[in-house]
Structure 1
């Protein structure tokens, strides 16, 4: 976190220095305003490409594999697992029911069953336990 703050702080200082330099160059008549704007635009473009590549590299980190043996061990059915995935996405019972084309009471039944199988009292606790058991992607 400190490294990120330092990098962005250095970036801001460098951009301010660039703006001051371009302002000085424009006032002294060394370059036209179009050239100064073009230089700033190119630098922003290069920084954008760098940040994009860095963020893509971080996203491609290997994700944990889902432990299907643990799912079977807990006795979670395929439909219950689908409901668990939708719960982890933050969907309500009604939204899950609409996505899975079942009634809301069916979803409530699946959620209750999941809570029992995962030994959880709330949906958030069930999601956390599922992540701990590595049956839900992080």
Structure 2
């Protein structure tokens, strides 16, 4: 507690000193007005970035454990699983085909087989069911 108080006091003292120095430099016309405007803008930008980082809660991804039993019971192959991962990331058929080095027709076949195995009829449903079954994070 004492340490944080001392840190905040030092930061406030440094900020007060910087403002007094800027005011003195401005009054003596050491630099142009644009310089002071940029300097104050940079200070507010740094303060905003720092406050945003401090006040925004970190969003750690929960630990994910693949449900191997569900994967085997559904009979999903490794290639179909790779297509499912790409589906979950929002890729189109052409993008999936490019990433997996297969033709778009092969991707369509894998997707239709996934639909049958997951008992769904749409991409969003397939991804949601895979998440529910802990097949994808």
Superposition TM-score, scaled by structure 1 size: 0.64
**Other-structure match for 2:109:** 109
Q: What residue ranges of structure 2 are gaps of 5+ in the alignment? A: 1-18
Cα distance between partner residues in 2 of 1:99 and 1:72: 24
Q: Deviations over 1:28-73 (max 9, x none)?
A: x869744454234213202213324555x62334343332322122
Q: What are structure 1's unaligned runs of at least 5 residues? A: 1-21
Q: CA RMSD in A?
A: 2.8
Q: What TM-score, normalized to structure 2? A: 0.64
Equivalent residue number for residue 49 of structure 1: 50
Structure 1 match to 2:40: 39
Structure 1 residues 128 and 76, CA gap change in structure 2 (3 angstroms): same
Tell me: CA distance 1:65–1:94, structure 2 relative to 1, closer, same or farther (3 Å).
same
